[in-house]
Structure 1
Amino acid sequence: MSADFYSMLNRYVGRRICLTLHGQTNIWGKVAAVYYDGLRLSQAIVSTDFDSYTGFDQPISARGEPSSRETMVHVNQILAVTCLEEDLPEVEESPSQTASNAEKPLVVETLVLEVGSALYESLSKEKEESFEDQTSALRQRIASDLGLFLPDWRLQKSKQLEEDEFVVKVRGVRVGKGTVFPKRFLALARRPFLKPLATESVAPSLLPYGVTGWWIRRPEREMAEAHGYEVLDMVGFLVLHLEEIVRLNAARLFGRQQLQELLDQTRTIAPSLVEEVIPEMLSPRKLQKVLRLLLREQVPVRDMETILETISDWQHEVREPRELADKLRLALASVLVERCQNEQNTLEVILLDPALESALSRLLRNVNRSVGMTLGLTPKQRSVLLSALEEELEEAQIQGRSQVVLTSARLRSPLWQLLSSRLPHCHVLSHEEVEQSGEHMESTGMVFHTEGFPADEPIEKEPTFRESTPARKK
């Protein structure tokens, strides 16, 4: 933890704050203590729903949570900190600090890449395929794939960084940091079982999940390509890292401006549909929340015709963003499954033992309609379940398979919330979604019932999507 960040958190001791963590989890609570590697919150409330609870409108004790509930948060989990109280102690600033702050821009840039002096010079040089060219192609790729329209990346030179260091910021929050070697190439092993290269490896946090990489010199490039490695230059590596960050932060990046651009594009092909649904059936604010919930799990929102038609179909039965997001997942089931299929168009999944699934179903807790269902696990149950799931998912990654867990519709969202903080690249699908897609499925593993969970008892079968599909409008 940097000295400035530590000093800021110390100012919040005894005050209520909101922490935004990786995986789009929010934690509200009162700062009880600050340590050099994290902080302790009392009266903590955990939520993964966008804007479902702001912390400003009612005291934490009014939420019905135990007032003595405490949690520890490691500094590496924190994306943003918001104080919910305005009476903070004033901090004296030296004249030089005041002058420096006056020069800082008031607008927070959406996407910023800060680089050291040598790296800045390398990226600024004119070349056939420059940094601007590749980041522009990245923006087009993200728009085509996810339906997310991004602004340009802002390239800034920083005197605080080493010559070849870089820092990535999303809306002013640092989300990535690393070092590059401008005169070397990056050899990527996207396929399993490729022999490691006898050279310096790249930190896993800088690469897509499940991909390993090594820095190689120019004479080694041809050999690496002959052995099946994908070879990138310095700019290619940076853009690869930026793409990974954008995908993991897609929901945070989907603001009102991105929604407007998506609606404007949809108006060119289905103007009457847009006018019918927005804002008559659903406000732009609520639509933004629904689409953010989809983007959290890497569900593309580019097919706005299907999305708006589905909202129109369910307008009278479903109003909460989380419930609407579930209906949209079913409508987009073919897209969900296609993204997880292997080269043979087969969906390989990890199943839960029926006894374990039954036990977990009895541990579901309905917080409220906006937050939805959560798993009421003890710390021991959480640890045991995560370890068992991680073991199967890591084996899938080693074998070169997608990390997909298949479960019931009721368990799908709570299970993803549990896994996303540790394995943000995993997918959790429901049986109904796979059935709706009509695609072939193959089980490659199973997580079995373990001690510490409720004994197996029959539970009421939940209705499927087809049993509750509304009548189409005439």
Structure 2
Amino acid sequence: MGKLTKVAVPIGVVSIVLMLVVPLPAAVLDLLLGFNIVASLLILLVSMQIKRPLDFAVFPSLVLIATLMRLALNVSSTRLVLSDGYAGKVIEAFGHFVIGGSLIVGLVIFVILTIIQFVVITNGAGRVAEVGARFTLDAMPGKQMAIDADLNAGLINETQARKRRQEVTSEADFYGSMDGASKFVKGDAIAAIIITMINLIGGFAIGIMQKGMAPADAVSTYSLLTVGDGLVSQIPALLISTATGLIVTRSASSSDMGTDLLDQLGRNKQPVRIAGGAALALCLIPGLPKLPFLVIGGLFLFLSTRLTEKPDVDEEALAAAQAPDEPQPDSPEAIVERMRVDPLELEVAFDLVELVDTARGGDLLDRVKALRRKVAMETGLVIPLVRTRDNLDLPGSQYVIWLNGVPAARGNSPAGTVLAIGDHLEGLPGKPTTEPVFGLAAKWVPAELQRQAEMAGATVVDRSSVITTHLAEVVRQNASALLGREDVKVLVEMVRRSHPAVVEELTPALLSLGEVQRVLHALLDEGVSIRDLVRIFEALSLRAKKSTDLDGLVEAVRAALGGAISQPYVTPDERLHVITLDPAFEQRLLEAVRPTENGQVLALDGHTVDSLVRGCTELLDQADRLNLSPVLVCSPQVRAALSRLVRQVLPRLSVISYNEVSRTAQIESLGVVNGAFAVR
């Protein structure tokens, strides 16, 4: 059936176009005229049965095809009327029926039908379609913002949001198409009038001049055919115009039009009862026939006794009654729900709401969604939905990033400005500040001076990018705090679907879900991506058979990941900049390693720790001046304890072992730390 439809529709449209130039026999024309009337009636009935306009989304295109078909039939019938004086039995029968022995009466009825279609229905439907298209387009930004808000609040998922966005777009496209389709109907009405005039005038001329008919015979013959032809085309046009009006005036509902009509008109008895009484009262007017009004009034009064009046229902109370499990506002369950802490929240001041409002060009929500995808690809952590809300208590231009109910970071983003980052910004007006992620000197300058700031050598960042970058840095620094037990379970199930043997061997036989979570936390704390869960789980399975010591598990995973750990620090030209330890000093550190309940630590005196920190800091400062990101390389035996110490004083310096150095990168040493000073 589907293949037949794909072929039949194009063939039908091409055939309609051919009808404009190819003569049709009278018998074929009768068949097509009958089909046209029935098809128009079908379209009208379907438009009355739909529950919302989008259920008949093909209607605008169908109007164009139906209009083209009526015009093609008009051309074919005109050709037969003017050439043969006969256009089939359908047109002749309609002509006899309307004229009824009087040409004047027939023409008047035809003109009235045309006026009804053109002036009343077509114009009204066109106006409603135009207004509907305008209002739908104006409402699109608000609807899109509501969908994004529901998505960020976790009320809907990405699939539901995509479906709702598609519905909003389809609705706008439909009403825009309906605005154009109404012009087809209007043009069809005008064309019908013109064709009818041509048939009358041309028929008289041909009958008298070419066929030698008497004027009365010519008028009788061609007026009958013209009125019949016009009526056969006007009836389908009137049906299509009515369907157009029904479609554009139809609001979304859970029932078809007939059900809604009876339900809403008969919702209350009183109006029906009053209407029946008014009909009976008209019988008291002298001269009016009493029987029609007695019948109508009695019928309405009878209907009022049969109607079942529906009581007014408080929908909120009904919803509360139907949801007995819904906690009361002051119940312990409701209080606990309000106490629930979101893992990640972004709170903005009143003047930053425009960054969230898509209707005003705000793209912050889209950037936050893109950030979630980017962080997932970089770290393997699917961060929870970021709940974005406004806070009138915040000072103007301020935003706060909350992590598990605690403010993790805050910043400013003044309206009408951009952030210019650079060292030579004295000549630009604005408020000096510090870039929130890297601590670079910056200045908030007016947005209209963006070009001047770029010419001054500054890096210019818009407000949404500043907030998104700050949020990304908070997420990376606190990635382990965002990886909950339920998240680990989801990751384990994801690996189980593709590598069931790996998961079955690891948990719960060797490690519990909590122990796996501890390992993943330790990796995230050290900036190691957990995307390659299969290799991580395989390494854990092998190590856990010997020991479940946390540091041992983590080092086993790092050894399995190998060069993937150092790859993020490799420059585009395949260079890895490293800081190394003097062998003698590294041996001292190895001798100072002590096991504890929380992992290995270095038992060093204050002087040695100070020398280590000063040496690393000096080399890091040199690297910063060269715009490099080095790593500290040491032996695997001391790496865990050294990393735990360095993270406390120099969190931006990563510590890797020799086994984790990329084999394809070219190693460049920035210096050696010997416990007393750094050596270049």
Please report the TM-score for the alignment, with normalisation by the length of structure 2. 0.47
Query: In structure 1, what residue type is equivalent to 2:409?
Result: G
**SS of equivalent to 1:413:** helix
Q: Distance in 2 between matches of 1:195 and 1:406?
A: 36
1:444 correspondence with 2:675: no
* Structure 2 equivalent of residue 10 of structure 1: none
Q: Distance in 2 between matches of 1:197 and 1:103?
A: 53
Q: Distance in 2 between matches of 1:132 and 1:438?
A: 39
CA contact (8 A) 2:612 2:675 kept: no
Superposition deviation, residue 139 in structure 1: 0.6
Superposition deviation, residue 121 in structure 1: 4.5
Superposition deviation, residue 385 in structure 1: 2.2
* Structure 2 equivalent of residue 252 of structure 1: 481
**SS of equivalent to 1:151:** coil
CA contact (8 A) 2:594 2:602 kept: yes
- Encode CA deviations 1:158-181: one digit per residue, 9 max, x unaligned: 233201111111001111012111
Query: In structure 1, what residue type is equivalent to 2:484?
Result: G
1:400 correspondence with 2:631: no
Superposition deviation, residue 286 in structure 1: 0.6
CA contact (8 A) 1:111 1:171 kept: yes
CA contact (8 A) 1:202 1:213 kept: yes
- Give the alignment of 1:167-316 within 5 angstroms: 167-188=400-421, 198-199=427-428, 200-204=431-435, 206-207=436-437, 209=438, 213-225=442-454, 229-316=458-545
Query: In structure 2, what residue type is equivalent to 1:340?
Result: Y
Superposition deviation, residue 216 in structure 1: 2.9
**SS of equivalent to 2:641:** helix
CA contact (8 A) 1:149 1:261 kept: no
Please report the TM-score for the alignment, with normalisation by the length of structure 1. 0.66
1:319 correspondence with 2:552: no
**SS of equivalent to 2:520:** helix
CA contact (8 A) 1:356 1:450 kept: no
Query: In structure 2, what residue type is equivalent to 1:255?
Result: G
Note closer, same or farther for the CA distance 1:106–1:449 as it changes in structure 2 (3 Å cut): closer
Ranked by relative contact order (alpha carbons within 8 Å, sequence separation 6 or more), the top structure is 1
* Structure 2 equivalent of residue 43 of structure 1: none
CA contact (8 A) 1:147 1:262 kept: no
**SS of equivalent to 2:365:** helix
User: When the two structures are aligned, how many residues end up with a matched partner?
Assistant: 342
Q: Distance in 2 between matches of 1:164 and 1:333?
A: 45
* Structure 1 equivalent of residue 588 of structure 2: 359
Note closer, same or farther for the CA distance 1:122–1:308 as it changes in structure 2 (3 Å cut): closer
CA contact (8 A) 1:348 1:444 kept: yes
Worse-matched range after superposition: 266-275 or 226-235: 226-235
- Encode CA deviations 1:235-271: one digit per residue, 9 max, x unaligned: 1110000000000000111111221232233233223
* Structure 1 equivalent of residue 383 of structure 2: 150
- Give the alignment of 1:338-353 within 5 angstroms: 338-353=567-582
Structure with max Cα Rg: 2
Superposition deviation, residue 441 in structure 1: 1.5
The structure richer in strand per residue is 1
Uncovered stretches (5+) of structure 2, i.e. residues with no partner? 1-333
Note closer, same or farther for the CA distance 1:351–1:195 as it changes in structure 2 (3 Å cut): farther
* Structure 2 equivalent of residue 426 of structure 1: 653
- Encode CA deviations 1:356-394: one digit per residue, 9 max, x unaligned: 2222223222224xx232111233433332122111112
Note closer, same or farther for the CA distance 1:438–1:343 as it changes in structure 2 (3 Å cut): closer
Uncovered stretches (5+) of structure 1, i.e. residues with no partner? 1-100, 452-474
**SS of equivalent to 1:113:** strand
Query: In structure 1, what residue type is equivalent to 2:352?
Result: L
CA contact (8 A) 1:197 1:214 kept: no
Q: 2:398 aligns with which of 159, 165, 186?
A: 165
Superposition deviation, residue 223 in structure 1: 4.3
Note closer, same or farther for the CA distance 1:226–1:198 as it changes in structure 2 (3 Å cut): closer
The structure richer in helix per residue is 2
1:141 correspondence with 2:374: yes
Q: Identity of aligned pairs, percent?
A: 29
Q: Distance in 2 between matches of 1:336 and 1:223?
A: 41
* Structure 2 equivalent of residue 131 of structure 1: 364
CA contact (8 A) 2:434 2:443 kept: no
